[in-house]
Amino acid sequence: MHCPYCQSKRTRVIDTSRDTRGGVRRRRVCLGCEQRFSTYERAVLASPMVVKEDGTREEFDRDKLMHGIKIACAKRPVPAADIERLVGEVESALQSMGKPEISSRVVGDMVIAGLKEMDQIAYIRYAIVYLGLDDLDAIRSEMDQLLDI
């Protein structure tokens, strides 16, 4: 492990703990410059291929999913930790299915369900794109369903 301050390879772990995102957080100290820093470790498991509606396939991309959820949650009082948790839950659920290929609909349904619980405005923003709500009546109908719950 290189020190982010002086690039020395001489570092020592001083504390290890479980991270809320499903990984391990290690507190380190550089033996060269004596600065402290944290590193995060997360197991890299085989990610399934996501099959899109047009038939194209691409590997599940955690960062792409995170970006889409962040756009839906922009300027909303949604903590970054909640977004990270949702992405982690979706990724874990996909990996636990054990399937080599998963429909993009499955991923989208998981995200939309999580956003519905997290923030209703973010849910509507995501639903407009994901569900293809292309007119005000469709958006109003979705909002009415939310208000009836």
User: For residue range 110-122, what is the model confidence (pLDDT) as tens digits?
Assistant: 999 999 999 999 9
Question: How many domains does the chain fold into?
Answer: 2
The pLDDT, as a whole number, for residue 97 is 87
Q: Is the pLDDT of residue 33 over 70?
A: yes
Are residues 144 and 71 both part of a single domain?
A: yes
Return the closest-CA partner of residue 69 out of 110, 127, 126: 126
Question: Does 71 map to a domain?
Answer: yes
Domain membership of residue 123 (yes or no) is: yes
Rounded mean pLDDT, 53-78: 93
Q: With contact defined as beta carbons under 8 Å apart, do 64 and 71 qualify?
A: no
Mean pLDDT, residues 47-59 taken together: 91
**32 part of a folded domain:** yes
Whether the Cβ atoms of residue 61 and residue 91 lie closer than 8 Å to each other: no
Q: What is the pLDDT of residue 22?
A: 64
> Which residues make beta-bridge pairs with 28?
13, 37
User: What is residue 46's DSSP assignment?
Assistant: P
17 and 82: one domain? Answer: no
Count helices and strands (H / E) in the chain.
5, 6
Residue 29's domain comprises 11-41
